[in-house]
Amino acid sequence: MNSRLIDWIWHVRGSLSLAPGQSGAEAFDRLDPLFRQAGTSHERTNDTLTFRKKDQAAQDRMSVFDGGVLRIENGRAGSVLHYHLTSRALLCCFLAPLLFLAFAQLTVALGKLEKPPAEASDASKKGGKKDADMPMNPIDKALGAPAPEKPAKGEKDGEKARDGDKSHSPTAAYVFAAIFAVLYLVGRILESRLVRTLFRKSLLGA
């Protein structure tokens, strides 16, 4: 299976044309400040720059990426910067919805498997009969107090059903799955554009 079919999930690739007359050494000199950040190490050769990040600071404008390779190639229209970056943060955001969906399915399965024991059902029926046959206190009866109202059987069953539904509801898992899915889609598109803009400004000396 071709790894390119799945590595787009956490890999960001792109290219930028260098300004006319701009050499590879000059381009890397302008990009160099981006890789002199806390937690960042980099190696540079004539046409390639490789960097790695560990415990990068949040202030780092490339903190979402953990490493990558930048390479300058000469083409017919001029020199072109090609970059290939990797991000574990994007991978985690992609996997998080799948994890929460698995939790949701597990919750639904547990709700279907869990059934009240027959003994508990029989005991509740007996208890209901005893409650129904229990006489009023003579003093209350003498004072004319009304007999206590007993909840209907349908109401009891409805309350139990609602409690069971809440304890085995997959709603929360679905909500978190949707949140992380949106975070991944926004982050995947936004980070790709941001790093491209950052490289372009650095190459132009802005």
Residue-wise pLDDT tens for the chain (206 aa)? Answer: 556 678 899 999 999 999 988 999 999 999 999 999 999 999 998 899 999 999 998 899 999 999 999 999 988 878 999 999 999 999 999 999 999 999 999 988 888 887 655 544 554 555 555 444 556 655 556 556 566 666 555 555 555 555 555 567 889 999 999 999 999 999 999 999 999 999 999 999 86
Q: Rounded to an integer, what is the distance from CA 91 to the centroid of its chain?
A: 9
Domain boundaries along the sequence of the chain: 3-88+189-204, 115-145
Element containing residue 198 per DSSP (H, E): helix 171-204
Q: Which CATH class is domain 3-88+189-204?
A: alpha beta
Per-residue DSSP letter, 7: G
Q: How much is the pTM? A: 0.72
Nearest to 67 by CA among 50, 48, 44: 50
* Predicted local confidence at residue 119, as pLDDT: 47
Q: CA geometry: angle at 40 spanning 35 and 41, to 5°? A: 85
Cβ-contact 136, 147 below 8 angstroms: yes
